[in-house]
């Protein structure tokens, strides 16, 4: 026994390198991936790190293949080092790709243990190439750019806090639908910008999108807002317009689900962020503002739910409550069809709780 131990130790040196070792200097970081799909043909755009003069920059390599993994193999042979998705920050999908079953696109990502599950996913409008090639008028690297703009909009409740890991959960859940960030190219500046949410129904993109204001309402409806959620309206008094910006402080939601009907009530408390008319210490003024807010918000919230119903996309997740407590309604048929035919009434009751340091 005592003789075996040193032999074993000596032999173990020979094993170096044939285990799952992957030296960091031999891999190339891929923080940004773009996937295009045309029925059976996948094209992957991989943005990988290039080091020159002690600084890092990213260039893009394109790979074709029959699957997402296949495109990576194809791209691998064109890049200088192994492409490693463990530092993936953002994954971009074209509208065409998303319109097909996106489980097929994500399978390779979920299956590999090294994939970073906290990376973000977004849908881009049109052709993917301009989104993944750095243009001259961009002063920061694209992966950082996408990561930062997504992070900001998540903070301001425009986008849901969804990463690759959440996508897996939501995709395979019948009772809730995915809503991913939708990125458009700004025609004036040539820089990509977030335009709102792309709505999914079941496992595919519906082709319908929401704008930023509507996206905030989706976040608030599911009671998963980011750090800040703000609404702005113009309040008219004696013919003169006054801008009114409020920030959502606290709120309660109550869903009353009956057969074929959902009454959703939201009791919200707001902080006033901007209101040049002032005089909020006046009880009458405040009541008037609260009434105005309630009316406007109720109108907008109902408009958003209508849009969701038209898209057959339950991004709010009413289905989860229905499935849990109302099996009769749930078992009526496919939830997406049931949802689109439901009568959903949203009612918002606004209350002003803080007015800032002015009254």
Partner 1 sequence: MDEVKSNASLILYIKKLFHDSTDLSVREVTWKDGVGIVCFFNTMTESGEVNKQIDIIRKRAMDGLTDWGGTAASSVEAFSVQKLVDSVSNGFVAVYFPASNLIMTITIPSYEVRSTSEPTNEFVIRGSHEGFVESTDKNISLLRKHLAIPDLVIKDLRLGKETNTKVTYVYIESIADKEVVEDVKNRLENIDTPKIYSIGQIEDYLEDSVWSPFPQFLNTERPDRVVANLLEGRIAIFTDQSPAVLVAPVTFFTFFESPDDFNGRVYVGSFFRVLRLFCFMLAIFLPAFYIAVVGFHSEILPFELSKKVKIAVQDIPYRPIVEALIVEIFIEIIREATIRLPAPVGPTIGIVGGLVIGDAIVTAGLVSNLMVIVVAMTAIASYVVPNLEMNTTIRIIRYPLMLAATLFGFFGIAIATLILFIHMLNQSSLKQPYLSPVIPFDPTRFKNIFFRIPFYKNHKQQQTFTHGGNKRKGGGKT
Question: Which residues contact partner 1 (rule: CB under 8 A)?
Answer: 12-13, 15-16, 19-25, 27, 29, 31, 49, 51, 54-56, 84, 86-87, 89, 114, 116, 143, 147
Nearer to partner 1, 117 or 324 (CB): 117
The side-by-side arrangement of strands in the sheet containing 32-38 is 55-65, 41-52, 32-38, 90-94, 120-124, 179-185, 192-201, 204-211
- Integer Cα distance of 143 and 196 in angstroms: 19
Bridge partners of residue 120, in order along the sequence: 90
Residue with Cβ nearer partner 1 (66 or 117):
117
Q: How far is the CB of 156 from partner 1 (least distance, A)?
A: 22
Tokens at 57, concatenated: 């920059």
Q: How far is the CB of 6 from partner 1 (least distance, A)?
A: 13
Closest approach, Cβ 3 to partner 1, in A, equals 17
Tokens, residue 269: 């408390």
Minimum CB distance to partner 1 smaller for 20 or for 238: 20
Q: How far apart are CA 63 and CA 72, in angstroms?
A: 6
Smaller CB distance to partner 1: residue 13 or 77?
13
CB of residue 79 to partner 1, shortest distance in Å: 14
Name the residue nearer to partner 1 (CB basis): 54 or 139: 54
Q: Which runs of consecutive H residues, i.e. helices, occur in the chain?
A: 4-12, 68-76, 95-99, 103-111, 129-132, 142-155, 164-171, 212-221, 283-310, 318-325, 327-330, 335-341
**Cβ distance to partner 1 smaller for residue 3 or 24:** 24
Minimal distance, residue 256 CB to partner 1, in Å: 44
Provide the minimum distance between the beta carbon of 17 and partner 1 in the complex, in angstroms, as a whole number: 8
Q: Report the b/e string of 276-286 with b at 16+ CB within 10 A.
A: eeeebeeeebb
> Nearer Cβ to partner 1, position 119 or 229?
119
Please name every residue paired with 94 in a beta bridge, in sequence order, or none if there are none. Answer: 124
Nearest-approach distance from CB 93 to partner 1, in angstroms: 20
Provide φ and ψ at 67, rounded to 5°: -145, 175
163-180: b (≥16 Cβ within 10 Å) or e: ebeebbebbeeebbbbbb
User: Of all helices (H) and strands (E), which one includes residue 62?
Assistant: strand 55-65
CB of 12 to partner 1, least distance (A): 6
Cα angle, residue 59 at apex, residues 53 and 63 outer, rounded to 5°: 145
Paired tokens of 13: 């040196």
Q: Which of 1, 15 has the CB closer to partner 1?
A: 15
CB of 60 to partner 1, least distance (A): 17
Residue closer to partner 1, measured from CB, 15 or 234: 15
């Amino acid at each position: 026994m005592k003789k075996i131990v040193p032999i074993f130790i000596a032999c173990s040196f020979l094993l170096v390198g044939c285990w799952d070792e992957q030296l960091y200097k031999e891999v190339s970081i891929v923080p940004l991936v773009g996937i295009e799909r045309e029925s059976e043909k996948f094209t992957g755009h991989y943005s990988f790190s290039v080091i020159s003069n002690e600084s890092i920059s990213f260039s893009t390599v394109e790979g074709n293949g029959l699957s997402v993994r296949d495109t990576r193999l194809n791209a691998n042979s064109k890049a200088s080092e192994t492409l490693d998705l463990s530092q993936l920050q953002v994954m971009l999908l074209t509208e065409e790709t998303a319109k097909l079953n996106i489980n097929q696109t994500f399978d390779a990502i979920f299956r590999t243990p090294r994939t970073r599950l906290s990376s973000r996913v977004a849908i881009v409008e049109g052709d993917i190439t301009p989104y993944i090639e750095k243009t001259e008028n961009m002063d920061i690297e694209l992966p950082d750019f996408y990561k930062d703009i997504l992070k900001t909009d998540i903070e301001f409740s425009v986008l849901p806090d969804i990463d690759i890991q959440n996508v897996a959960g939501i995709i395979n859940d019948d009772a809730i639908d995915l809503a991913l960030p939708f990125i458009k190219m700004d025609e004036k500046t040539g820089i990509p910008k977030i335009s709102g949410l792309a709505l999914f129904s079941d496992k595919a993109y519906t082709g319908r999108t929401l704008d930023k204001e509507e996206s905030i309402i989706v976040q608030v409806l599911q009671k998963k807002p980011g750090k800040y959620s703000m609404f702005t309206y113009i309040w008219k008094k004696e013919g003169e317009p006054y801008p009114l910006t409020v920030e959502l402080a606290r709120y309660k939601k109550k869903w009353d689900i009956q057969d074929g009907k959902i009454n959703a009530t939201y009791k919200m408390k707001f902080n006033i962020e901007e209101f040049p008319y002032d005089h909020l210490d006046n009880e009458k003024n405040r009541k008037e503002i609260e009434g105005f807010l309630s009316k406007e918000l109720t109108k907008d919230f109902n408009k958003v739910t209508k849009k969701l119903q038209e898209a057959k996309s339950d991004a709010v997740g009413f289905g989860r409550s229905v499935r849990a407590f109302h099996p009769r309604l749930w078992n009526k048929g496919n939830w997406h069809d049931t949802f689109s035919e439901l009568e959903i009434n949203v009612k918002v009751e606004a209350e002003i709780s803080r007015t800032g340091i002015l009254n």
